[in-house]
Structure 1
Amino acid sequence: MQNQFSRTQLLFGKPAIDTLAGSRVAVFGVGGVGGYVVEVLARSGVGAIDLYDDDRVCLTNVNRQLYALISTIGKHKVDVAAQRVHDINPHCIVRTYKKFYLVSNAHEVDLSCYDYVVDCIDTVSAKMELVRRCKQLGVPILCCMGAANKFDATAFRIADISKTKNDPLAKVMRKRLRREGINHFKCVYSDELPTAPFDDADISCRFHCICPNKDMRKCTDRRNIPASNAFVPAAEGIIAGGEVVKDLIAAAGTMRISPQERDTSAPALKAADRARRMLQEWKTMKLQEQSAGNE
């Protein structure tokens, strides 16, 4: 029977779709890059997506962020994201956490329950802590490096952190984590050299912060206000989301199992069972929500 994922199934095969339907992925940061990661995961049929971000939509986000519209200004990004994901796949279990992942609260997040973690955070200390903990737990992680101050959407690469170049954020993480014995993890980075933004006091958030949630992070307290555009962060997010999808399927061994093979393939049968269990979890959650609403 045809559904919203039929065209994907024609390319990947039903067992791959089942793998995605039975997977749980966490995305930390749902801004310019993270929003497009979530979009790819949702449109690929990932069964459970956990979203971590405490930002609200700001007018200055509209130039590049998927969830930023004039109509969504002031709303929590994770709430807008959850609504959009459910409009794509009503069966997706979306858990939202209005919090920034920090070194100080990292212990509150159980990363072991995830099949994959995507780092779209813009704070070095938080990114490093997320890598540390995923490495300790053996949870796959993909880190998204800098997308600000760049023009070339075709310059992004998937690489080990040790192979990155021309990315200031990647350089800092590479050097600091190397001291801790963490030399390898996958990332998305651009090898384009950053361009210095104009110092325009008339429009800079550094002097005129208009964030709707000013009790969190005032732009006037930031050292730098990065420049951005509509296409570079989007390209990185789409590339990152696609890599997660392919990695999940590759790890399960379910890429392109033919319709003739899937009833006898052990990986296909395992993926089908996981998909059924995820769907049952969604049904149970819906029943609990309905019951709570009737009280």
Structure 2
Amino acid sequence: MLIGEQGLSALSAASIVVLGVGGVGSYAAEALARAGVGRLRLVDGDVVDVSNINRQLHALDSTVGKAKVAVLADRFREINPQLRLEPIQEYYAPQQGQALLAGCDWVVDAVDTVAAKTDIVCSSLEAGQGVISCMGTGNKLDAALLRVDDISKTFNCPLARVFRRELGKKGIRRGVPVVWSPELPKIAEEVQSGPRTPASISFVPAVAGLLMASYVINKILQLKR
């Protein structure tokens, strides 16, 4: 057995919240569920859209229009009937942040906005919870460049740059693990000017989510060694 009975017990005792279950968060959540985590809270206010099908685990023609957290919860119950699931169809907002994070050992931040990310990290650190945050995966094609580092070591990532600035305003300049890539964002020729929505592909967000799950699982196991 790869992690032994002690490792299985540690994972079974763990309580984790995944904030945002889109392209990154859906893969992180499933990896945690399959690894044997005991309690999993899924937080996302969105429903599956046809535009999600290229990269989000729950997105199928048959699930379009359904709540993302509900689709994942049904899927995870088939994977592990003993998993204690809390699907919450809400977007993260600071005013209810404490309630959404309460009772969890680890916080997996896969939300989109820097304001929410900043509040999540600050709240988690203040509460003594483990936390990992995902930086930008849009407009990128080389999944092999994804890595886990301290936020202070990031570069070439527009989201990470703004995130560092906002954390700095709170007096936080290091000590926050993030999944990120140094790959320069690509810009499609037809949208090189004017407002742009980041484009995405199937495998980059997925790998980012799996790296987040790997980090959390290994940290939980290290505490029991």
Into which bin does the TM-score normalised by the smaller protein fall? over 0.9
Cα offset for 1:166? 1.0
Matched, 1:195 2:189: no
> What are the superposed Cα offsets for residues 126-172 of structure 1, whole Å, 9 maximum, x if unpaired?
00000110111111100011110001010111100001111111111
Contact (CA 8 Å) 1:197, 1:226: kept in 2 or not? no
Whichever residue aligns with residue 109 of structure 2, its letter is D
Equivalent of residue 49 in structure 2, options 34, 55, 58: 58
Paired-residue identity, %: 41
Q: How does 1:141-180 map to 2 (within 5 A)?
A: 141-180=131-170
Rounded Cα–Cα distance in structure 2 between residues aligned with 1:178 and 1:77: 33
Q: Which residue is equivalent to 1:219? A: none
Rounded Cα–Cα distance in structure 2 between residues aligned with 1:248 and 1:18: 10
- Residues 100, 199 of structure 1: alpha-carbon distance in 2 compared, 3 angstrom cutoff: farther
- The CA RMSD measured in Å over matched residues stands at 1.3
> What are the superposed Cα offsets for residues 50-95 of structure 1, whole Å, 9 maximum, x if unpaired?
0000110000000010000011000000001101111110000010
Equivalent of residue 105 in structure 1, options 96, 117, 129: 96
Matched, 1:231 2:203: yes
Q: How many residues align structurally?
A: 221
Q: Which residue is equivalent to 2:72? A: 81
Contact (CA 8 Å) 1:57, 1:74: kept in 2 or not? yes
SS of 1:11's equivalent in the other structure is coil
Rounded Cα–Cα distance in structure 1 between residues aligned with 2:130 and 2:99: 19
Rounded Cα–Cα distance in structure 2 between residues aligned with 1:52 and 1:37: 13
Runs of 4 or more off by more than 3 Å in structure 1? 197-200
Whichever residue aligns with residue 59 of structure 1, its letter is V
Matched, 1:69 2:64: no
Equivalent of residue 116 in structure 2, options 126, 130, 155: 126
Please say which structure displays the higher CA radius of gyration.
1
Cα offset for 1:199? 3.8
Q: Which runs of 5+ in 1 are unaligned?
A: 1-9, 201-222, 254-295
Q: Which residue is equivalent to 1:32? A: 23
Contact (CA 8 Å) 2:15, 2:104: kept in 1 or not? yes
Cα offset for 1:107? 4.3
Contact (CA 8 Å) 2:148, 2:180: kept in 1 or not? yes
Equivalent of residue 45 in structure 1, options 33, 36, 47: 36
Matched, 1:248 2:190: no
Cα offset for 1:177? 0.9
Q: Which residue is equivalent to 1:116? A: 106
Q: Which residue is equivalent to 1:23? A: 14
Q: Which runs of 5+ in 2 are unaligned?
A: none
Rounded Cα–Cα distance in structure 2 between residues aligned with 1:224 and 1:54: 23
Cα offset for 1:198? 4.6
Whichever residue aligns with residue 83 of structure 1, its letter is D
Contact (CA 8 Å) 1:112, 1:139: kept in 2 or not? no
Whichever residue aligns with residue 163 of structure 1, its letter is K
